[in-house]
Amino acid sequence: MPPRVLAAGALKHLILVAGAVLTAFPFYWMVTTSFKSFAEAQSYPPVLWPTVWHFENWQQAWEFPTTLWARSFANTLGIAAVSTLGTLVTAVLAAYAFARMRFRGRNVLFAIFLLTIFIPSEATLIPNFVLITKYLGWYNTYQAQIVPFLASVFSIFLLRQFFMSVPQELQDAARIDGAGHVRFLWSVALPLVRPALITVALLNFLASWNSFLWPLLVTSSPEIRPIQVALVPFSSEAGTQYHLLMAGATFVILPTLVVYLIAQRYFIEGVARTGIRG
Amino acid sequence: MPAPSRLDARRRRILFEHIEAYLFVLPAVILVGVFDVLPGFAAFLMSLTRWGIIYERFAGLDNYRAVLDPAGARFEQFMNSLGVTVWYVLLTVPIEMFLALVIAVVLYQGTSGRGAYRVVYFMPYITSVVAAALVFEWMFDANFGLLNWAIGLVGIPAQEWLREPDGVFGMIGSAFGLELQGWMTGPSLALVAVSIFTVWHFIGFQTVIFLAGLTNVDRELYEAARIDGAGERQIFLRITLPLLSPTIFFVLVLATVGAMRSFSQIFVLTNGGPLDTTRNVPMLIFQTFFERTAVNGIGLGAAMSFIFVLIVVAITIFQFRVLGRRVFYG
């Protein structure tokens, strides 16, 4: 190979490696710090690799007096699971109807759904807060953290695209065999759009897992608060004990990271697809 | 006569189909109606009232006047926040897009381990902003932070980062003996620090979208160009960029709107401080709503959010008008 091509190749790799190191560094720093001693975590100049690994830090952070980690994790897991399942059901039904059923008002309804994407969340936050706490009386409950997220216009929009790509011939054939919409949806259409279902489920689960502002506003007691909100009192209590702070941050990030690494294809392809189609 | 009964059967079938379809969309319609559409209308009505801790009275356009009256304190607050918002967009969007584009193009040209790079670059996007912010807060720490140590290696003095209200241009200027005043001092270092976090968090998202756009470009075009003797730079400028322009435009619009509406990262990293230098418009709206409810916070906050929506929409339309027509759609 001529030297110029070699140089270009080396430059490419240099860019990619440098970028990847900078991107991954905060994760590295978080995990390694969580295993350092108190003194080493605070040492200046910083120590890049723990001299002694203090695995007991994690236990110490987990048993931190102000934080009910297990309870918060269970809350987050439960809230995320129920709202993801609910979103899947409502989104599949609505998306299928918008894609493959003919009914009066379909286009108007779909246009209204699309318009809601443009309503900024800053504007609807207060009315929703008033609605949930004052009119529904759901302040500091699980349903306040779940019910508003049981439908997602974005998911409906994404799934509708996929249902539209299911060939009409399949539906005609099913109809001749006497299968109605429910039957066709359950045994033909759903299996065909399975990758899209997984993407929608993962993205909703992730959004629920990472949601912070809304649960912070509508809850007050640690017993029903999710993990992201529990992190706030933890971080102010832990103060400058950075090794414990980083252990706490790792607790919160690790589960999503594991799910992401296992199912990264669905995350990335889902974002690529929805990103392109808007 | 068989005809009427057949008509009845047809009618009955259409009726059944409609009922079935409405039942399919009903759960979504109720939920979207109650938690999206209704609050949207309610927010507009709230902007027309005087409403602090309790509802006081209908106030017409008073709130809009209060925010837009150049002599008022609210106007100054709002304009300051708008300035922060503009700086924040300028500090994040161009850098994110440039870096993401470079990474995507290099990845697309085919290197070993492309999948692994993609996984790493996308990682920040899926992590919780609250937890990741804890890590960054610590790296930005004025006393023990990694960043101060790193810049110290090249001889730059330690900084306050997230707690530094001074403008960065002013700081750079005074390091060279140049005293800048007023708006010329630029965005605060705190806002720059928040922007660094933002770039880190979103770069993978944009990279993935650029990569998806690139895979839509016909590979044969590249081969044809190479056969005709085109160089790498020519290929990038004459083929890749024009064919990618719809994606670039799409990312630009999305990133601009997203940056203007940013909230969580500012909320957890600086909460709008120091000295309100990171208080963008969403942050101001939030503070008006929640911390100052005693003085008509709900009415004023709602009015601000509607004015802000109009500004965001206007900028988006501007982008479509001015840049949209330069996009090449093949």
ipTM of the complex: 0.88
**Closest-CA residue to A130 (of A121, A120, A138):** A138
Q: So what's the pLDDT on residue A277?
A: 41
Would you call B298 and A276 a contact, using CB atoms and an 8 Å cutoff?
A: no
B317 touches chain A (CB under 8 A): no
Pair of tokens at residue A255:
């589960």
Distance (Å) from the alpha carbon of A103 to chain B's nearest alpha carbon: 5
Least CB-CB distance to B28: which of A131, A156, A182?
A: A156
Would you call B36 and A13 a contact, using CB atoms and an 8 Å cutoff?
A: no
Torsion-angle region of A177 (φ positive above 0: left; ψ -120 to 50: alpha; else: beta): alpha
Q: Is the pLDDT of residue B326 over 80?
A: no
Q: So what's the pLDDT on residue A274?
A: 65
Q: Which of B25, B41, B120, B256 is the best substitution to test chain A (most A C-beta atoms within 10 A)?
A: B25
Chain B residue with minimum CA distance to A124: B39
B5 touches chain A (CB under 8 A): no
Spatial contact of B264 and B283, defined as CB atoms under 8 Å apart: no
DSSP B250-265: HHHHHHHHHHHT--HH
**Closest-CA residue to B278 (of B128, B166, B127):** B166
Q: So what's the pLDDT on residue A278?
A: 33
Q: Is the pLDDT of residue B35 over 60?
A: yes
Would you call B103 and A276 a contact, using CB atoms and an 8 Å cutoff?
A: no
Distance (Å) from the alpha carbon of B70 to chain A's nearest alpha carbon: 23
Would you call B111 and A264 a contact, using CB atoms and an 8 Å cutoff?
A: no
Chain B residue with minimum CA distance to A93: B24
Would you call A271 and B209 a contact, using CB atoms and an 8 Å cutoff?
A: yes
Q: Is the pLDDT of residue B293 over 70?
A: no
Name residues whose C-beta falls within 8 Å of residue B12's C-beta, 6 or more positions apart in sequence.
Answer: none
Distance (Å) from the alpha carbon of B145 to chain A's nearest alpha carbon: 8
Q: For residues B49 and B61, give the distance between their C-alpha atoms in angstroms, rounded to a whole number.
A: 8
Q: For residues B70 and B3, give the distance between their C-alpha atoms in angstroms, rounded to a whole number.
A: 74
Q: For residues B99 and B224, give the distance between their C-alpha atoms in angstroms, rounded to a whole number.
A: 28
Distance (Å) from the alpha carbon of B232 to chain A's nearest alpha carbon: 10
Chain B residue with minimum CA distance to A250: B131
Q: So what's the pLDDT on residue A46?
A: 87
Least CB-CB distance to B289: which of A104, A126, A264?
A: A126
Distance (Å) from the alpha carbon of B144 to chain A's nearest alpha carbon: 6
**Closest-CA residue to A125 (of B271, B313, B302, B280):** B302
Domain edges within chain B: 65-144+190-326
Domains and CATH numbers, chain A: 3-60 (no CATH), 65-238 (1.10.3720.10)
Pair of tokens at residue A229:
């909100």
Pair of tokens at residue B241:
């960029």
Q: So what's the pLDDT on residue B266?
A: 94
Would you call A249 and B132 a contact, using CB atoms and an 8 Å cutoff?
A: yes
Q: Which of A268, A271, A273 is the best substitution to test chain B (most B C-beta atoms within 10 A)?
A: A268
B228 touches chain A (CB under 8 A): no
DSSP A120-175: -HHHHHHHHHHIIIIIS--TTSHHHHHGGGS--HHHHHHHHHHHHTS-HHHHHHHH
Q: For residues A138 and A125, give the distance between their C-alpha atoms in angstroms, rounded to a whole number.
A: 15
Q: So what's the pLDDT on residue B55?
A: 84
**Closest-CA residue to A166 (of A200, A194, A201):** A194
pLDDT band at residue B265 using 50, 70 and 90 as cut-offs: very high
Residue with tokens 């009910």: A68
Give the model confidence (pLDDT) of B200-215 as tens digits. Answer: 999 998 998 898 888 8
Find chain A residues with C-beta within 8 A of B216's C-beta.
Answer: 276
Least CB-CB distance to B29: which of A27, A109, A118?
A: A109
Q: What is the mean pLDDT of residues B155-183?
A: 89
- pTM tops 0.80: yes
Chains A and B form CB pairs within 8 A to the count of 244
B309 touches chain A (CB under 8 A): yes
Q: Tens place of pLDDT for every residue, chain A, 278 residues?
A: 577 777 877 888 888 999 999 999 999 999 999 999 988 988 888 888 999 999 999 999 998 887 899 999 999 999 999 999 999 999 999 999 999 998 999 999 999 998 887 676 777 888 898 899 889 999 999 999 999 999 999 899 889 988 998 899 998 999 898 888 999 999 999 999 988 899 899 989 999 999 998 999 899 999 999 999 999 889 888 888 889 999 999 999 999 999 999 988 888 877 777 654 43
Architecture of domain B65-144+190-326: Orthogonal Bundle (1.10)
Least CB-CB distance to A275: which of B35, B209, B313?
A: B209
pLDDT band at residue B2 using 50, 70 and 90 as cut-offs: low
Task: Tell which B residues from 187 to 206 touch A, by Cβ distance under 8 Å.
Answer: 200, 203-205
DSSP H/E element including A239: none
Name residues whose C-beta falls within 8 Å of residue A52's C-beta, 6 or more positions apart in sequence.
Answer: A37, A40
Find chain A residues with C-beta within 8 A of B309's C-beta.
Answer: 120, 123
Distance (Å) from the alpha carbon of B65 to chain A's nearest alpha carbon: 18
Would you call A26 and B21 a contact, using CB atoms and an 8 Å cutoff?
A: no
Find chain A residues with C-beta within 8 A of B22's C-beta.
Answer: 103
Distance (Å) from the alpha carbon of A43 to chain B's nearest alpha carbon: 7
Terminal Cα distance for chain B, rounded: 60
Chain B residue with minimum CA distance to A277: B250
Find chain B residues with C-beta within 8 A of A153's C-beta.
Answer: 32, 36
Pair of tokens at residue B113:
């381990």
Q: Is the pLDDT of residue B190 over 50?
A: yes
